[in-house]
Structure 1
Amino acid sequence: MALTLEAEQRLADAGLIEFFEANEPAWLGTAKQTKAFVAGNFPPGSLIRRDDVAKALYPLVEVNELLRDQLSADKLRGKFWIRFFVDLIIDRTWERLDEEDEQAAG
């Protein structure tokens, strides 16, 4: 799913956008690796969509200790926080993933 305004506002209010920005290189790297994994396992020539990557990224984010510690410290217990955070990662890194893929291919 795409990042909605409501989700972005909730993430901002909870301090999770600041948390993302403070750790952005790590999230970018995780998103790049996930997209490469998806691309390598989809049929050749398949269009890789945001939701394809998000689906594969979710279990990685779900067990990420930095995020788990942050959610615990802020007493954010709902599973929707992880979904919102995955959507944030995809939203904030997607264009750079495409650019880097195009540069590597070109």
Structure 2
Amino acid sequence: MAISLAIQQHLEKAGLVEYYDKHEKHWKALAKKSHDFIQNNFPADYDVHQEDVCKALIILIEVNDLTNDYLNANKLKEKYWLKYFSDYILDQCWKEIH
């Protein structure tokens, strides 16, 4: 599942692409933890999809101080930013973590 150009442009305008790049190792580690959690708790013969992992990743991002500080400082209060950012993280590192 790739993100759309429109969503990527929204993320770029909000500075979240640059923010991802600045903390790339951190976001990849959270994505890997989310992937591993889903893979270890879903049926063994199931091929985990990005959308499955995204649901777990959103929860980790939502309670993350780095994310909360950035979103609050930039007045990005809407919940869709968490989904967009989670989708972007997985889009960037899926081949590496899957």
Q: CA RMSD in A?
A: 1.1
- Cα deviation for residue 2 of structure 1 reads 4.2
Task: Map Cα deviations across residues 32-78 of structure 1 (whole Å, 9 max, x no partner).
Answer: 11111101001112110010100111111111110110011111111
Q: Name segments (4+ residues, structure 1) moved above 4 Å.
A: none
Give the secondary structure class of the aligned counterpart of 1:43: coil
User: C-alpha distance in 2, partners of 1:2/1:65?
Assistant: 26
Residue type of the alignment partner of 2:94: W
Any gaps of 5 or more consecutive residues in structure 2?
none
Q: Which residue of 2 aligns with 1:92?
A: 92
Q: Which residue of 1 aligns with 2:24?
A: 24
Any gaps of 5 or more consecutive residues in structure 1?
99-106
Give the secondary structure class of the aligned counterpart of 1:17: helix
Q: Which residue of 1 aligns with 2:69?
A: 69
Alignment of 1:4-43 (within 5 A): 4-43=4-43
Of all paired residues, the percent bearing the same amino acid is 40
User: TM (normalized to structure 1)?
Assistant: 0.88
Residue type of the alignment partner of 2:65: E
Residue type of the alignment partner of 1:40: N
User: TM (normalized to structure 2)?
Assistant: 0.94
- Cα deviation for residue 8 of structure 1 reads 0.6
Structure with max Cα Rg: 1
